Structure 1
Amino acid sequence: MNDNLLHLLGGDEAQYPHALGEKYPRIIERLVSLWGTPDVLVYLNGLIFDQRGGREGFPEDAAKDLFHLNDWIRSHMTEAMKQQAAGRLSHFDDVWETAEMLQGEKRSNEVAMLPETLLEAGQRGDIEAIRKHLDAGLGINNIAGPNEQTVLHGACGYGHAHCVESILRLGGQVGSKDAAGRSPLHLAAQAGSADSIELLLAAGADINTVDKEGQTPLHHAVQSGKMRSVVQLLEAGAALNVQDVRQNAPLHLAVLAKQSRMVELLLSYGAERTLVNADGHTPLELALMSSDTRLPGLF
């Protein structure tokens, strides 16, 4: 497993492309080198769709990893980066349209309706497929996969707010927890989906619920660098100084990640500067030890 890619995927091993990494480690290295730039999507689309002809296709498990990575990266990109990538990806529009049509036909012809395929429908934002699963007798709150997630977790993790709204109307439970103790709100905050966060809070989600690491949705938003989500959560009443099992408050995490703008934001909301974590350090002490010389000056 490539530790750099795992870190870029937020440390979530369930998102890691195991088949692709095992069979094509050089592709993984290339993705890591392009991460955070529009080029990563151009490279992925070039792998998914053979524009020159004659190239042998990827094995099914590796191909699924490529499509999954493409979806994950798109859902976590900033709007500015999406706009930068749009022009360079325009020549892929037709093949994507065809691929999505064929994929939709394949899904409609599938006989198996399982909790796992229901979760995948949520991750795709496929409301029609979700309804078909319910018509087949599955429950909207069935859990699936190694992470024991519901379809609401799936939709929130990928920022499909339109799908989140439908799932909530169909009885999706906002307080459901996955194997790591994460609620749908944790995943929506991590994905930076403002609309999903708003829908979940309106449906009664606990804004300060903690996962098994003792982290709130605010911790997740900070770690993912989602400043808009951080502001949204704080304005909605999120507790700013909750400490996780390592006694790290969101401000500790922002300093450790060298996110100077996030540190400024949290301090502007009154983040406590003197909280001590399990290693005996305050956020200021971590800033003084950081290789980023800008951080101490923010305090």
Structure 2
Amino acid sequence: MDVASRLQEILGSTEFPQQLISKYPHLAERLILSWGSPALDIFLNELFFDRRGGRQGFEPEIMHELFSIQSLHNKLFPHEDHGVIWTEDNLAPEDLRADYVSFDPPHLMEAAKTANLGMIKDALASGFPINSTDDDGLTMLWWAARYGHRELIITLLKARARIDIVDERGCGPVHWLASQDIVSAIEELHQHGADLDLPDNDGVTPLMYAAKRGRVAAAGCLLQAGVAVNAQDNKGMTALHYAAENASGRMLELLLVYDADPKLMDFQSRTAEDIVRQKPDALRLLAYLM
């Protein structure tokens, strides 16, 4: 069996590193030999972080494949958990941090995207600043929320990650979690003081994000936390307007239970009922508004 076939047998077709096989077959061979043992983490970390200097970095697509492989390996063969919570009070002393100088934001942001919890814990233990940002000003917590990685979010929150980071559109972690219906992570952010009513640059709140995508569980979580049900965005639209646009009867019903005002008009003078009447199943949806 050739290297490609053996690697596909190990990783499966969805995680198959096509670029790695094509450009660096010798590295793929090493991956196969180390699979299932701690040696794989050591090998991958040597690839990620050139401590000796002078080595040209890998192409972005190769790095993404390597991070995905390590993330899968960590899921299948998790590190032994001793219940350690990485906080600023128990990070490695200064003399140990020199060994980890190659941890840098691009690598750690990629690790956050792929939920590589082991690598991120190693970085935090070495003294890597938890609120370091990439070129777009985004942190590991922001990326963890963008990709919906609950366990990583909790780890970063316990390590005192900032919760107020937003992207160029004004979207913060709660916006993305509401869009993906990840209730437990929303609750964690709320417990750590996150503003659940934070609008993006268009005035769209996390509740509106949930409403426009039909995320009933997330909307319920936000409403129970006391968010402003009748807040209006820069177009005058409320969560009820977005629920009407999405033709979500369950969302309309939920919002009305929490006193959403069906008479509020957007800046086009439309109520939620006006929007519903334009839908193919208007009769069904109107029943929720009556």
TM-score, shorter chain, exceeding 0.5: yes
In the other structure, the counterpart of 1:296 is 286
Q: Does 1:254 align with 2:243?
A: yes
Instruction: Give yes or no for the alignment of 1:120 onto 2:120.
Output: no
Aligned pairs, how many?
212
Give matches, 1:61-210, under 5 Å: 107-109=44-46, 110-111=48-49, 113-134=103-124, 138-144=128-134, 146=136, 148-210=137-199
SS at match of 1:275: coil
Q: Indicate conservation of the 8 Å contact 1:115/1:138, yes or no.
A: no
Aligned residue number for residue 226 of structure 2: 237
- Give 1:291 shift: 2.1
- Relative to its length, the structure with more helix (as a share) is 1
Give CA-to-partner distance per residue, 1:119-148, whole Å, 9 cap, x none.
Answer: 2222222222113334565421122255x4
1:217 positional shift: 1.3
Report the alpha carbon displacement of residue 167 of structure 1 after superposing the two structures with TM.
0.6
Supply the distance in 2 between the matched residues of 1:213 and 1:237 (Cα, whole angstroms).
21
CA contact (8 A) 2:212 2:245 kept: no
Does the CA-based 8 Å contact 1:256-1:286 persist in structure 2?
A: yes
Structure 2 unmatched runs, 5+? 1-10, 21-31, 50-101
Rounded to whole Å, the distance in 2 between the matches of 1:49 and 1:170 is: 30
2: CA distance, partners of 1:130 / 1:159:
16
Q: Aligned runs of 1:204-223 on 2, under 5 Å?
A: 204-223=193-212
Aligned to 1:48: 14
Indicate the RMSD between aligned Cα atoms, in angstroms: 2.8
Deviation at 1:218, TM superposition (A): 0.9
Gaps of 5+ in 1: 1-44, 51-56, 61-94
* Contact map agreement 2:213 2:246 (CA 8 A) in 1: no
Give the 3-state SS of the residue equivalent to 1:295 in structure 2.
helix
Quote the sequence identity (%): 28
Q: State the distance in 2 between where 1:175 and 1:133 align.
A: 22
CA change 1:59–1:291 in 2 (3 A) is farther
* TM-score, length-scaled by structure 2: 0.65
Q: CA contact under 8 A between 1:225 and 1:262: conserved in structure 2?
A: yes
